[in-house]
Amino acid sequence: MRGCVQRVSRASVTVAGRVTGRIEKGLLVLLGVGKGDTKAGAEFLAEKCVNLRIFQDENDKMNLSVRDVAGKVLVVSQFTLYADAKKGNRPGFSDAAPPELGKSLYEYFCGFVKEKTGDVQTGEFGAKMDVELVNDGPVTIWIDSSAAGLNPRLTS
């Protein structure tokens, strides 16, 4: 499972002209689910996201988590995080999870984040979405559950 985590001053996602999620200060998480991903990977990634100390403290050091600053989390599914562009110019997506697994783990991830933060805003899985954000910093962090050995297919 892969997450592109961005510290934002605001972000929103719109589907067919309807806002499905909107936050002010917090994190925008673009979430990709891979073929071999599991609930353990989703929990690992969710814990990392809500505990990342990437917000400034009183000494202007990145030392506080989204929970510490009472920030919000917006999660948007993005299978293109599993794009493979090694050959040619058209990316392949064979490492992305099939839609059923992707949706299940996306929803599990969102539920876990909600459990840890009290709220989570979302996009709409599988839909064409317009995502708007103001990246604060900019701060963008890449997290991959395979780094924790939670996806044997990708780590062997």
Catalytic residue ranges:
80
Phi, psi of 30 (to 5 degrees): -90, 120
Q: The tokens 């996009």 sit on which residue?
A: 123
Nearest Cα residue to 29 out of 121, 125, 100, 95: 121
Q: The tokens 């840890």 sit on which residue?
A: 116
Q: Which two structure tokens, joined as six digits, stand for 61?
A: 């050091």
CA separation for the pair 118, 116 (Å, rounded): 6
Q: Give whole-number Cα distances, 89 to 23, 83, 84, 86, in Å.
A: 35, 11, 10, 8
Residue 120 DSSP one-character state: -
Q: Do residues 33 and 106 touch, judged by C-beta distance below 8 A?
A: yes
Q: Determine the distance from the C-alpha atom of residue 25 to the mean position of all C-alpha atoms in its chain, rounded to a whole number.
A: 16
